[in-house]
Structure 1
C-alpha cells in the first residue's frame, strides 16, 4: 500500500496528493508518469508526475476529476492509501540528457494549459536546479483554475499567466501570449507545450509558423499506460506510436492531433455512464438499458 501523506484541493475539481513511494521517487525524471489504482476494483489511471523527492521518498501527483475513478480518488484523505502506485513509466524528457553547458545556451519556453501546469513544473524545476532559467506561460479558463502559480514563479525565469476570460492578469489563450512575446523580440530555441490536446494542437500550429521546435506530452490520451490496450495509439510523422511506451513526449509538429482527439472521444460515453453509477450510488436503477444499471 502507498500512503497518502497530503491531499489538497488546488482548484475546482483539481487535487494534489503527496504519496509515499520511495522506490518510485528514487528513479523519477522529468517527463515520466505513474499509474495509480485505488483498490482491486479501481481503474488504472496514468498521471504525469508533478514533483518528487528522492530523499523523502515521496511523489506528488495532480489530477482533475473527470470520471468515476478520479472522483473516488478525490474522496481519499491524508492517511488513506493507494493499492498500486507503479512507476516511473514512459521516457524522460530528451533534453535532460543533453550537455548542461550546451543546454544553458538554449532559450526555452514552456506553455502549460490547465492541469498541464503540473507536469511542466518538474521540468522547469529541474532546469532551475541546474542553473537554467526558462520562460513559462500558464493558462486556464478562469482565475479559479490557475494552479501552482507560486511554485512555478519560484523556478521560472519569467512567468506569464493568462486566463481565457481575463479574470486574472493577461486575457486570452496561451497562444496569444506566445505571439506577443515573439513580437516583443523574444527568441526561443525550443518550446514544450503540455495541456489539453486541442491547446497543444493550436500551440504547435503557431510555433511551426514561428519556426520554434516544439515538444508535446500526449498523456491526455493514455488509458492503460502499458501499451497493451492500444488506446493511446497515435500517428507521429506518419509512423504509429504509443503515447505510454514511446512517449509521452513527441515532436508536436509531427503529431496527428485530429486523429488523437477522435481517439480520445471514443471513451467519453463509457466514462459518463460509470460516473453516473458512482454519483447515484444505490439509487441508480439504469433504465436506459445501456449503462449496466439494470443488471
Structure 2
C-alpha cells in the first residue's frame, strides 16, 4: 500500500497529493509518469510526476476530476492509501540527458496550460537546481484555475502568467504572450509545451513559424499507460508511436495533432474502436479487449 502523506486542493476539481513511494522516488526523473490504482475495482490512472523528494521517499501528483476514478480519488484523505503506485514509467525529459554546460547556453521557454503546469514544474525545478535559466509562460481560463504559481515563481527565471479572460496577469493565451515577448525582442532556442491538445497544437503552429524547436508531452491522451490499450496511438513524423512507451514527449512539429484529437473522439465508442481496428490494420493495438485487436 502507498499512503497519502499530504493532500491539498489547488483549484476547483484539481488536487495535489504527496504519496509515499520510496522506490519510485529513488529513480524517477522529470518528464516521467506513474500509474495509480485506488483498489481492486479502481481503474489504472496514468499521471505525470509533478515533483519528488528522494530523501522523504515521496512522489507528488496532481489530478483533475474528469471521470469515475478521479472522482473517487478526490475523497481520499491523508492517511488513506493507494493499492498500486507503479513507476517511474515513460522516458525522462531529454533535458536530463543533455550536457549541463550546453543547456546553460540555450534560451529555453516553457508554455504550460491548465493542469499541464504540474508536469512542467519538475523540469523547471530541475533546470533551476542545475543552474540553468528558463522562462515560463503558464496560464488557464481564469485566475481561479491557476495552480502552482508561487512554486513556479521560485524556480523560473522569468514567469509570465496569463488568463483567457484577463482576470489575472496577461489577458490572452500562452501563444499571445509568446508572440508579444518575441515582438519585444526576446529570442528562444527551445520551447517545451505541455497542456491540452488544442493548446499544444497552436503553440506548435506558432513556434514552427518562428523557427523555435518544440517538445510536447502527449500524456493527455494516455489511458492504460502500458501500450496495451492503444488509446495513445499517434503519428509522429509519419511513424506510428505510442505516448506511454515511446514518450510521453515528442517533437511537437512532427506530431499529427489533428489525427490524434480525432482518434481520441472515435476511440470513445465501441463502434469507433472497431472502425479504428479496420483502418489501422496491423499497426492497431487492441489490448483493451474492446475491439478484438488483441486476438
Using structure 2 for the length normalisation, give the TM-score: 0.90
State the distance in 2 between where 1:263 and 1:4 align: 35
What does 1:215-230 correspond to in 2, within 5 Å? 215-230=215-230
State the distance in 2 between where 1:74 and 1:268 align: 24
SS in 1 for 2:168: coil
Deviation (angstroms), 1:262: 1.5
Deviation (angstroms), 1:82: 0.3
State the distance in 1 between where 2:111 and 2:135 align: 9
State the distance in 1 between where 2:11 and 2:268 align: 23
SS in 2 for 1:208: helix
What does 1:256-267 correspond to in 2, within 5 Å? 256-266=256-266
Residue 183 (structure 2) aligns with = 183
Residue 279 (structure 2) aligns with = none
Cα distance change, pair 39–266 in 1 and its aligned pair in 2 (3 A): farther
State the distance in 2 between where 1:264 and 1:114 align: 19
RMSD: 1.0
What does 1:102-113 correspond to in 2, within 5 Å? 102-113=102-113
Spell out, residue by residue over 1:136-180, the C-alpha distance to the aligned partner (whole angstroms, 9 max, x if none): 000000000000000000000000000000011110011000100
Residue 21 (structure 1) aligns with = 21
| 4+ residue runs over 4 A deviation | 267-270
State the distance in 2 between where 1:241 and 1:159 align: 33
Using structure 1 for the length normalisation, give the TM-score: 0.90
State the distance in 2 between where 1:141 and 1:264 align: 23
Q: Does 1:63 align with 2:63?
A: yes
Residue 207 (structure 2) aligns with = 207
- Asked if 1 retains the 8 angstrom alpha-carbon contact of 2:231 and 2:267, the reply is no
SS in 1 for 2:178: helix
Cα distance change, pair 163–268 in 1 and its aligned pair in 2 (3 A): farther
What does 1:102-251 correspond to in 2, within 5 Å? 102-251=102-251
State the distance in 2 between where 1:245 and 1:133 align: 30
Spell out, residue by residue over 1:24-74, the C-alpha distance to the aligned partner (whole angstroms, 9 max, x if none): 000110100000000010000000000000110000000000000000000
State the distance in 1 between where 2:92 and 2:75 align: 31
Residue 285 (structure 2) aligns with = none
Deviation (angstroms), 1:269: 6.6
- Equivalences, count: 270
State the distance in 2 between where 1:268 and 1:10 align: 29
Residue 44 (structure 1) aligns with = 44
Residue 253 (structure 1) aligns with = 253
Deviation (angstroms), 1:267: 5.3
State the distance in 2 between where 1:172 and 1:73 align: 32
State the distance in 1 between where 2:160 and 2:169 align: 9
